[in-house]
Homo-oligomer: A and B are copies of this chain.
Amino acid sequence: MARQERAIETRRRLLVGAAQVFDERGYAAASINEIQERSGVTKGAMYFHFASKEDIARGVMAVQTEIPIGTSGRAASPMQQVVDLTHDLAHRLRTDVLFRASIRLTVERGTFQVNDADPYDWWLRIFGRELARAQGAGELREDLVPEDVAASVVGSFTGIQMLSHVVSGRRDLHDRLTRWWQQILPGIATPEALRTVRPAGTPGPGRPDGA
């Protein structure tokens, strides 16, 4: 392995090890020694990549803004794409410790000095853009501001995944999201979109039955 590849692999192992510890304990209770042990790298290698626990946490938090958006790519329309995106994020929360820790660090605000609003801004922009596309396609009601709906979607998703986490370890997250979409779509979608958009997301990999 070339030196640069090794460095990328070491950084990745550090982020995954740190994510495991942050996901289990939160930021404040995580120790840098445990992160190093969990990652299986030397102390020297760790401090080559990250100056401090805070620095590692920044790296983990940045993960959520580095994932490909709209991964499924199967959605039949922009509004369906918005619904699918929430299910994609749910799947990611359930299966990817790096993404899960990134969200936990975001949610447990204020325990270290990162500008708290940055990750939220990221998701508000993503959903705002997709909802504007849905409005352009005649799927989001004309009297609504896409950014306002994006704020409700991002806020609701954040809290619903937390509730699902404490109640079921996120096993029921897709079902909760589906019911939530069933409840909110009549107030935000046009009648045409309401007939076609699937609250459970487009059926496919990483999705429950689809219904």
Contact = CB atoms under 8 A, between A and B. Distances in A.
Contacts of A136: none
Contacts of A40: none
A143 to B, nearest CB: 10
Interface stretch (A52-60, A67-75, A79-87, A145-153): A145-153
Contacts of A182: 187
B155 A120 contact: no
Given A25-B111, A28-B29, A183-B187, A155 B162 contact: yes
Contacts of A26: 28, 108, 110-111
A116 B186 CA distance: 33
A149 to B, nearest CB: 7
Contacts of A166: 109, 116-117, 120
Number of copies: 2
A20 to B, nearest CB: 14
A45 interface: no
Contacts of A163: 120, 151, 154-155, 158
Interface of chain A, main secondary structure? helix
Nearest to A106: B166
A144 B187 contact: no
Nearest to A118: B166
Contacts of A184: 152, 183-184, 187
Contact of A152 (B28, B148, B149, B183): B183
Interface in A1-36: 24-29
Please give me the 9 A-B residue pairs with the lowest Cβ-Cβ distance, nearest first. Answer: A159-B159, A28-B28, A158-B159, A155-B160, A186-B187, A156-B156, A116-B166, A155-B163, A155-B159
